[in-house]
């Protein structure tokens, strides 16, 4: 079997760590694995397939001989290093928002628009969408193909792991401090996150929305290849460690019953329907954590419009929302293109 030299940039982070685990779990044909992070991490080691690999500093010459670069070092770092890596012949799969909306860079969720991967040839870069967008489009694509979506109204309930390792620590520490009657520390979020919900993810824009909300609006249209789908979003951070949940209201051009939607989703790739209210069964973040599928339930008619549905969508934001989706793209890349 052909094997590949793979580099993970951002290897010590929440997403990078998960990418390394998923490469091992899925037995990705790795010849050599190079682990890259900031100068702060030089000297650390990470185990891959029983071997301790030293973390190196991400530098301009890091990509000589590398075939595939899995990037999650933050937007500014990707903006600088992804083109350098691509120029040295490496195909970059980038988890940041740096290139997502560039017209000649594919933005890919394999279950939805796998064919777009061919566009890696343009600039040697493929973008991985935002986690909240990924889990929503995996579920909505089969429904769009059947009944054509007119409008989506989504509210998210996003886990702290979406903000990285420091935010996971902040929630743990705040919970401990509150139980021990101590002052909480706020370093990552502007307000207490323990036992609270913050309607604020990423920075605010002039239109009153946050960047996270506008990522959902714009990325959905690009991935679904339909600029006419109307999307409006409210993104909320909740005190959950892993697993983003979403309340999604969809209005369609054509008729679609909740039974038909359930039938389509039972067959949809990467989707698992968990929808039996008589047994209190619906998707939950605590069960989605560590899983590959995107879970959907509470599928029901929106009784206020002619053709509409409401549903509840949950996925592991670090797996399907980031690392797994990136590795799935790499799998298609080696199978069909490299």
Q: Which of 4, 6, 7, 14 binds ligand NAP (CB under 6 A)?
A: 14
Q: Which does 158 bind (CB under 5 to 8 A by kind): ligand NAP, ligand 3JN, none?
A: ligand 3JN
Q: Which of 41, 62, 130, 325 binds ligand 3JN (CB under 6 A)?
A: 130
Check binding of 133 to ligand 3JN (CB under 6 A). Answer: no
109: alpha, beta or left, given left = phi > 0 and alpha = psi -120 to 50? beta
**Positions in 17-76 near ligand NAP (CB under 6 A):** 37-38, 40-41, 58, 72-75
Residue of 90, 115, 197, 244 marked active site:
244
| Token pair belonging to 65 | 């001989």
Cβ neighbours of 155 (radius 10 Å): 16
Using CB atoms within 10 Å of the CB of residue 130, give its burial: 0 to 12 exposed, 13 to 18 middle, 19+ buried. Answer: buried
Strands of the 125-127 sheet, one edge to the other: 45-48, 51-57, 30-37, 4-9, 68-71, 91-94, 125-127
Q: Closest CB to ligand 3JN among 73 and 142?
A: 73
Q: Which of 69, 162, 243, 270 binds ligand 3JN (CB under 6 A)?
A: 162
**Positions in 157-186 near ligand NAP (CB under 6 A):** 162, 164-166
144 is catalytic: no
244 is catalytic: yes
Q: Closest CB to ligand NAP among 110 and 308?
A: 110
DSSP E strands in the chain: the ranges are: 4-9, 30-37, 45-48, 51-57, 68-71, 91-94, 125-127, 149-158, 230-237, 244-252, 271-273, 294-301, 308-315
Q: Closest CB to ligand 3JN among 129 and 142?
A: 129
Q: Closest CB to ligand 3JN among 5 and 155?
A: 155
108: nearest Cα among 86, 92, 84 = 92
Shortest distance in whole angstroms from residue 301 CB to ligand NAP? 31
**β-strands 4-9, 30-37 pairing:** parallel
Choose the binding region for ligand NAP from 60-68, 128-136, 174-182, 226-234 (rule: CB under 6 A): 128-136
Q: How far is CA 18 from CA 23, 50, 182, 188, in A?
A: 9, 16, 33, 21
Binding-site string for ligand 3JN from residue 193 to residue 232, where x marks contact by CB under 6 A and - marks none: --------x-------------x-----------------
The neighbouring-strand residues paired with 309 are: 250, 301
Q: What is the per-residue DSSP string for 195-225?
A: T--BS--S-B-TTS-BHHHHHHHHHHHHHHT
Q: Closest CB to ligand NAP among 130 and 174?
A: 130
Residue of 115, 131, 144, 197 marked active site:
131
Residues that bind ligand 3JN (CB under 6 A): 75, 96-97, 130-131, 158, 162-163, 201, 215, 317
**Which residues are catalytically annotated?**
131, 244
């Amino acid at each position: 079997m052909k094997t590949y030299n793979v580099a993970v940039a951002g290897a010590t982070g929440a997403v990078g760590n998960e990418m390394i685990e998923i490469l091992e779990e899925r037995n990705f044909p790795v010849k050599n694995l190079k682990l890259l992070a900031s100068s702060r991490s030089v000297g650390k080691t990470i185990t891959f397939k029983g071997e301790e690999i030293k973390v190196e500093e991400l530098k301009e010459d890091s990509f000589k001989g590398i075939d595939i670069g899995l990037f999650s070092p933050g937007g500014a770092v990707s903006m600088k290093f992804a083109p350098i890596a691509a120029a040295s012949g490496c195909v970059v799969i980038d988890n940041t928002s740096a290139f997502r909306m560039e017209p000649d860079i594919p933005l890919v969720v394999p279950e939805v628009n796998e064919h777009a991967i061919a566009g890696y040839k343009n600039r040697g870069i493929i973008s991985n969408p935002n986690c909240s967008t990924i889990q929503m489009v995996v579920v909505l694509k089969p429904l769009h193909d059947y009944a054509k979506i007119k409008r989506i109204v989504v509210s998210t309930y996003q886990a702290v792991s979406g903000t990285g390792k420091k935010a996971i620590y902040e929630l743990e520490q705040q919970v401990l401090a509150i139980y021990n009657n101590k002052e909480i520390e706020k370093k990552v979020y502007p307000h207490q996150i323990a036992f609270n919900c913050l309607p604020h993810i990423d920075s605010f824009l002039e239109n009153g929305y946050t960047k996270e909300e506008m990522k959902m609006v714009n990325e959905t249209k690009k991935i679904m290849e339909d600029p006419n789908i109307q999307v409006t979003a409210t993104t909320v951070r909740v005190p959950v460690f892993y697993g983003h949940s979403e309340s999604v209201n969809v209005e369609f051009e054509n008729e679609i019953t909740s039974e038909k939607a359930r039938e389509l989703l039972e067959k949809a790739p990467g989707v698992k329907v968990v929808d039996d209210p008589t047994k209190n069964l619906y998707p939950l973040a605590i069960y989605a954590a560590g899983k590959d599928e995107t879970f959907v339930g509470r599928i029901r008619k929106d009784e206020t419009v002619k053709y509409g549905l409401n549903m509840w969508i949950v996925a592991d934001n670090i797996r399907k929302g980031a690392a797994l989706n990136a590795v799935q793209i790499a799998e298609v890349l080696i199978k069909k293109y490299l």
